[in-house]
Structure 1
C-alpha cells in the first residue's frame, strides 16, 4: 500500500530512477530538459530601419528607371498637343485669326 499513497500524494516525492513525481494522468511533466539553449531575436526587432534611407533612394531610382520609358512619352506627347491646341485657340480668337478665318465658320 505504500507506493499507492505516494502516487496519490503528489508533489516532489522521489520516485523511480528519475527522482521526481511526474504528475497526475495527462500531465506534461517529465525529466528536466538538458542541452544547448539558444536564443533568437527576429530581424525586425534588431534594427528595423537599418539601411532604409539608402535602400529608398536606390530602389526608387531603379523603379523609376525601369518605368520611365512607359510613362514619359505619353506625357510629353500630351504636353505638346495641349500646347499646340492652346496656341491655336489663342490665335483663332485673336484679331489676326478672326480676320484670316472669320468667314469660314
Structure 2
C-alpha cells in the first residue's frame, strides 16, 4: 500500500479523474469535494473605478516621507563638497590676483 494514495484520496471520485485535484475546494481537507462556506468575494468593473483617487495627496506625502528619510545620507556630503569648491574658487581667484601674486612671489 502506498501512503500517498491514501493522502490523495478523499472524495468519492477516483484519482486521476478530470476536475478532482488536491486542495481544490477546502483548506485542510485534501481532495475534499465540498465547497467552502462563508467566503464572499466582491468585484468592481475596471472602468467603474476611480484610478486616480488620492493620487495627488499620496504623491505629496509619500514624496515627503521618502525625502525626509534619505536627506541625511546625501545632504552632508553635498554641503561639504559645495563649501570645499567655494573655498577652492575663492583661493584660486586670490592667488591669481595682484595681491596674491605679490604675496607669494618668488
* Cα distance change, pair 62–42 in 1 and its aligned pair in 2 (3 A): farther
Within 5 Å, give how 1:1-105 maps onto structure 2.
40-41=43-44, 46-103=49-106
1: CA distance, partners of 2:60 / 2:81 = 29
CA RMSD of aligned residues (A): 2.1
Aligned residues: 66
Gaps of 5+ in 2: 1-40
Structure 1 stretches lacking a partner, 5+ long? 1-37
When normalised by structure 1's length, the TM-score is 0.57
Which has more radius of gyration?
1
Structure of greater relative contact order (alpha carbons < 8 Å, 6+ residues apart): 2
